[in-house]
């Protein structure tokens, strides 16, 4: 699938509707006047390769990501672009790590993109970052959350937007500790069997060890598993105090529905959940405490304006990947506008400078220069009982931001001593 918001023809051989209209208008001018019209040269468009899963277990999230970044591009272009240059975002399905790497290379070598943005899968993001580093091109990793992308596998050419696994664990953990659900408790975890899940499990283990909790069992679950009954039987046999999910994408939705059908009495919590997957679980199935980077009920006027605009355009509420893809392009528009360029060296220097960005939250965000992580607030959320929620969009109750407004944002992120990133 290829989607483009463009003011220039694509090197890959297809044109946008705008291109066709311009070409038609030019041909008409030649026919009427008998000689070529004198056309003022337009500034070259800024070309951005956007890779995100549009199919598979993360496909639903990728659909929101495409809508968010394309909406941002339209807004920026309608306001005159970046220093007079239009933005052309080419959105494509990354499918899997191998495919993502192939498309990233083609976008750089053949399509001539200025930089690459996107991705949700940590495994695909790692593959893209390796291609970007070889070509010395900027890669803005929008949605992957694995700590290793900011640590052992960090890159001079990669910047990460979403909150990492450690932050998600800290956001939920702070709420669980407040409610007396950590100290002395036995946890049983179920974990997505790929780099993201393994990384999240490591962060969870660190949290349990630091807070007098015991991990009595863990199951690694392939991303294509749809029948969770064998794992639910093991949970029932283990009789934990709390079941904790380190799953990804629609794994969470499928597990939650089947967990409700089994009627197990152990409360569930999770260290990862995207709101589209929460909505898909349905009222009465999802319970517990979970983390998020953003939710549409956030009481912030700029966030509310975004929600209203997105709903008016797409006739649905934005999910957190719509928001994060939207603010990513706005961040990059600010960076390109400030440096007057879309060149990688200039953008890296600006992003590392400590510049602040409005991301539609109460506190501005900034990148750390030494691991390229965007530092921002996170949130825990809880779920209303079935009888109290009007619908799936009403069932989530957003908690207070973490860390508290009186504390530095850095408090919930891995420190330099805890991080193995070296450029």
Note the pLDDT tens digit of each residue in 378-406: 999 999 987 899 999 999 999 999 999 99
pLDDT of amino acid 262 = 93
Strand pairing of 46-52 and 2-5? unpaired
CA distance 386 to 401: 25
CA distance 259 to 247: 14
Domain residue spans in the chain? Answer: 2-163+299-375, 166-292
Specify the DSSP class assigned to residue 4.
E
Which stretches of 53-150 are assigned E, i.e. beta strand? 87-93, 115-118, 139-141
pLDDT of amino acid 214 = 98
CATH number of 2-163+299-375: 3.40.50.2300
pLDDT < 70 stretches in the chain? 1-41
CATH number of 166-292: 3.40.50.2300
**Residue 403: cis peptide before it, omega within 30 degrees of 0:** yes
273-291 per-position pLDDT tens digit = 999 999 999 888 899 999 9
Nearest to 49 by CA among 106, 109, 115, 95: 115
pLDDT of amino acid 74 = 98
Nearest to 57 by CA among 26, 5, 96, 25: 96
pLDDT of amino acid 4 = 59
pLDDT of amino acid 385 = 85
What global pTM score does this model have? 0.88
**Chain centroid, CA 285 distance in Å:** 24
pLDDT of amino acid 9 = 39
Check if 2-163+299-375 and 166-292 are the same fold.
yes
């Amino acid at each position: 699938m290829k989607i483009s918001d463009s003011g220039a023809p694509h090197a890959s051989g297809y044109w946008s509707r705008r291109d066709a209209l311009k070409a038609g208008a030019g041909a008409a001018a030649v026919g009427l006047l008998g000689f070529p019209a004198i056309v003022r040269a337009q500034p070259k468009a800024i070309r951005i390769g956007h890779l995100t899963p549009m199919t598979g277990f993360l496909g639903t999230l990728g659909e929101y990501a495409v809508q968010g970044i394309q909406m941002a591009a339209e807004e920026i272009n309608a306001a005159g672009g970046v220093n007079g240059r239009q933005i052309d975002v080419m959105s494509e399905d990354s499918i899997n790590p191998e495919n993502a790497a192939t498309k990233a290379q083609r976008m750089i070598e053949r399509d001539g993109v200025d930089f690459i943005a996107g991705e949700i899968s940590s495994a695909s993001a790692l593959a893209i970052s390796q291609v970007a580093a070889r070509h010395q091109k900027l890669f803005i990793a929008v949605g992957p959350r694995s700590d290793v992308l900011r640590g052992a596998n960090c890159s001079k050419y990669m910047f990460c937007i979403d909150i990492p696994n450690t932050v998600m664990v800290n956001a939920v953990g702070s709420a669980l500790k407040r409610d007396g659900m950590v100290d002395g408790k036995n946890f049983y975890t179920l974990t997505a069997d790929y780099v993201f899940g393994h990384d999240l499990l490591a962060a969870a283990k660190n949290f349990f060890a630091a807070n007098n909790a015991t991990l009595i069992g863990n199951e690694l679950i392939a991303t294509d598993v749809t029948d969770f009954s064998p794992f639910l039987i093991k949970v029932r046999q283990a009789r934990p105090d709390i079941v904790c999910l380190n799953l990804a994408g629609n794994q969470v939705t499928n597990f939650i529905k089947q967990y409700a059908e089994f009627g197990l009495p152990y409360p569930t919590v999770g260290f990862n959940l995207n709101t589209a997957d929460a909505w898909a679980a349905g009222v009465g199935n999802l319970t517990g405490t979970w983390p998020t980077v953003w939710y549409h009920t956030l009481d912030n006027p700029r966030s509310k304006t975004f929600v209203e605009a997105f709903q008016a355009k797409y006739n649905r509420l934005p999910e957190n990947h719509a928001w994060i893809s939207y603010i990513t392009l706005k961040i990059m528009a600010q960076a390109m506008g400030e440096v007057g360029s879309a060149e990688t060296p200039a953008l890296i220097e600006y992003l590392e400078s400590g510049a602040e960005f409005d991301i539609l939250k109460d506190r501005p965000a900034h990148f750390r220069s030494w691991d390229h992580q965007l530092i921002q607030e996170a949130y825990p959320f809880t779920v209303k009982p079935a009888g109290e929620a009007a619908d799936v969009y009403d069932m989530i109750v957003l908690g207070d931001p973490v860390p508290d407004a009186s504390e530095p944002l850095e408090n919930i992120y891995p420190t330099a001593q805890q991080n193995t990133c070296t450029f």
